[in-house]
Chains A and B, each alone.
Chain A
Amino acid sequence: MIQKKICMLGSFAVGKTSLVARFVHSIYRDQYLTTVGVKIDKKQVRVGDNDVTLILWDLHGEDEFQKIRSAYLRGSSGFLFVADGTRRSTFDKIHELQENAVSAVGDVPFVVLVNKSDLKPEWDVDAEALGAATDRGWTVLETSARTGEGVEDAFLAIAESMLRR
């Protein structure tokens, strides 16, 4: 049985916990309950001929007064960087998060998720910003934990690129 650890990283309230809840338990709630420390969940997916158990580390959002400890990232085979499409700063923050992740565990696969696609009219992450990220070679996917759109695909995308390693 293949097991892979994935860390969910991103600013607070971008929807990390909501994405995990949607993916693992098929639930969503509007109420915001911030994550303290880390919550670990798992789910099995099928990638090609392999069953893979994804072990999801849903970390608290990083901000100026609470940095993510690098100990949490140890042993990760992949990362999901999450931004909130309605808050541009959370998207810009991903550079820094990605650099920190590389220095903690080295160069492992990652996918960037721009969440809250159901609020598209309110987005201030524009096509230009998305294009620049794609040009850099990043995989950028749009998701909505609320409607479920793109969520399954997002986790499968990271699972696939981890297995390809």
Chain B
Amino acid sequence: MADLPDLLAEYLETAVVSTRSPAWMHVAHHGALVGAGGPLGIYGIATLAPGDAVAPAVPMLEGLLPLDEPIELPCVGIGTGLPADIHLIPGEDGDWVLILDATSEAILRGLVQQRSNDLLLLQARHDALGKGPPGVRDIPSSLSAVLGALVIEEEASGNLVAIGRPPQWLARFVDPDAEPAGAGIVDRFAYLESFLVDAREFWARDAGAVLEGGSWEETDDTGTNASLDAVAVGVGGRRFIVVRHVDEARDERRRVIQRAREVRLDLDRLHRDSQQREVLFHCLVHDLAGPLTSMKAIFSMLERESLPDSMKRLVDIGTRQTARQEELIREMLDVFADERRVFDPATFDPKSAPDVCSCARSVVSALVPAARAKSVNLETEGCDEAMRVIGDRLVLERVISNLVENAIRHVPDGGGVSVRVVRSDETALVEVDDNGPGVPDSVAPTLFRRLSQGSGPRGKAGLGLYFVRMTVERWGGVVGFTPMPKGGSRFWFKLPVVESLAD
């Protein structure tokens, strides 16, 4: 590696990073996370904060750390994550875990392995049925069709025979009406002819079950290119060549995987957007409803005046229109209320209750860079014991994140923000403290109101705090603000703990 020219080394690095989506973890010898990076989530690995114990959260590592030598684990799928090559590398200050996307490798290996296993199984079934040497032409014609593969057997006599129903794609290359004789097909593909030479040698040596012939491009009768691949299989003394049309299967899977990745990335964004929209929508409806009350008052005052008939009719129309608008707004609010019911503790599924401590930790670890940029010291206190509360994990993280972002925004450079989670009776209490300038007395009472705006240039808080209150209250909790005796603020909220609901 040392004598690899810089340009090539850089090229390699870029190539790996762009094609293999690396993710990594650094784990101290005592098992706590030192650091991590990259898209761990797509590989089915939970996000952890530095200091967290790795073993319970990343079960894949059970029994493997600490390392005494490097370990390589190819094609590992964790839960629903993408297949990955996992490299475990011991270091002086802990072990390193490097995770690289192995999707395409897994697909290709899968194709070959599936095909050969299917054939071997079929063989075993024939043998078990005691049919003596199985009549090859008995292979259900559906098999090759299912595999989308062309199967050609070389008989003991050296004759080449196509087995089962030929796959559809073959018609692009050979006349479908002509009885597809094995030799005729092989003649059509120059590549196969030469592969057959290797295959014969492979069968003669009895070197193993499968010889991969690799894939090649073939131009069909219409001039379109197609990608085919071939393997030679030796099973129980019999010899097969299996040819597959690979682009279809491969392209399709690639598309699916690509899509799955995009969806994963979009999901988070969507969640955020929809919450923001929800808040905005609610605010908007309230804003629409506000002036309506005064309009109604004005119209009812006018109704009582003795106006000319023409004016009376206009007032009448105005009254009816405001009533209609009021109705519309009520309907909109009902829709919104429906959404709220989703979080109704009565229908809430305790199994999905999020752990508020782990939410707090993950929020803090996500915001550490932002805090560091302002030289603000951001830390958690007492967030080590799991506390499951009513709520939804992503939304709960947004709630905490709103409070913490707020605090970071309001403390002066070099200040401090701390997040504490404590259990008090049946509730979990989350407190976000800062040592900033505090909140002016005049603003404090309206802090959690819709669109209330803190003073000064940093006053972006209105919507965020309103969202916090709305969400927490909808889960049966309370929010509050307490000025700190030595200056600074404490924003807090309480949520019911789930165990206490059970009884």
Tell me the A residues contacting B by CB distance below 8 Å.
1, 3-5, 12-13, 32-34, 36-42, 53, 55, 60-61, 63-66, 69, 71-72, 74-77, 86-87, 89, 122, 124
Q: Mark B410-450, 1 if CB is under 8 A from A, else 0.
A: 00000000000000000000000000000000000000000
Please pick, from A5, A37, A41, A53, the residue contacting B106 in the complex, using a CB distance under 8 A: A37
For A65, what are the chain B residues with a Cβ–Cβ distance below 8 Å? 116, 208-210
18 further contact pairs, Cβ within 8 A, besides A13-B121, A65-B209: A1-B56, A5-B63, A12-B120, A12-B121, A36-B110, A37-B77, A37-B83, A37-B109, A38-B76, A38-B77, A39-B77, A40-B76, A40-B79, A55-B60, A61-B117, A63-B120, A75-B63, A124-B128
On whether the beta carbons of B83 and A36 are closer than 8 Å, the reply is yes
Main secondary structure of the interface of A (DSSP, over half): loop
Q: Indicate the size class of the contact surface on chain B.
A: 20 to 34
Report the 10 A-B pairs with minimum CB-CB distance, sorted nearest first. A75-B63, A37-B75, A55-B59, A39-B77, A36-B110, A75-B64, A5-B62, A65-B209, A36-B106, A12-B117
For B60, what are the chain A residues with a Cβ–Cβ distance below 8 Å? 40, 55
Q: Mark B94-133, 1 if CB is under 8 A from A, else 0.
A: 0000000010001001100110111011001000100000
14 example contacts (A-B, Cβ-Cβ < 8 A) are as follows A1-B56, A4-B62, A12-B120, A34-B114, A36-B83, A37-B73, A37-B106, A63-B120, A65-B209, A69-B74, A74-B71, A87-B128, A89-B124, A124-B128
For B74, what are the chain A residues with a Cβ–Cβ distance below 8 Å? 37, 69
Given A40-B79, A122-B128, verify A53-B73 contact (CB < 8 Å): no
Given A3-B59, A12-B120, verify A66-B75 contact (CB < 8 Å): no
With an 8 A cutoff between CB atoms, is B78 at the interface? yes
With an 8 A cutoff between CB atoms, is B55 at the interface? yes
Please pick, from B59, B76, B120, the residue contacting A37 in the complex, using a CB distance under 8 A: B76
Instruction: Tell me, rounded to whole Å, the shortest Cβ–Cβ distance linking B250 to chain A.
Output: 14
Instruction: Tell me, rounded to whole Å, the shortest Cβ–Cβ distance linking A1 to chain B.
Output: 6
For B56, what are the chain A residues with a Cβ–Cβ distance below 8 Å? 1, 3
For A55, what are the chain B residues with a Cβ–Cβ distance below 8 Å? 59-60, 62
B64, B77, B120: most-surrounded residue (chain A CB, <10 A): B77
Residue of A nearest to B211 (CB): A65
Residues from 64 to 91 in B contacting A, C-beta threshold 8 Å:
64, 71-79, 83
Please pick, from A40, A66, A86, the residue contacting B128 in the complex, using a CB distance under 8 A: A86
Please pick, from A33, A63, A72, A75, the residue contacting B209 in the complex, using a CB distance under 8 A: A63
Bound complex: CA of A41 vs CA of B210, how far in Å? 30
Residue of B nearest to A31 (CB): B146
For B79, what are the chain A residues with a Cβ–Cβ distance below 8 Å? 40-41
Instruction: Tell me, rounded to whole Å, the shortest Cβ–Cβ distance linking A152 to chain B.
Output: 20
Bound complex: CA of A114 vs CA of B209, how far in Å? 25
B62, B63, B118, B209: most-surrounded residue (chain A CB, <10 A): B62
For A32, what are the chain B residues with a Cβ–Cβ distance below 8 Å? 117-118, 121
Bound complex: CA of A157 vs CA of B128, how far in Å? 31
A32, A40, A63: most-surrounded residue (chain B CB, <10 A): A40
Please pick, from A1, A41, A74, A86, the residue contacting B64 in the complex, using a CB distance under 8 A: A74
For A5, what are the chain B residues with a Cβ–Cβ distance below 8 Å? 59, 62-63
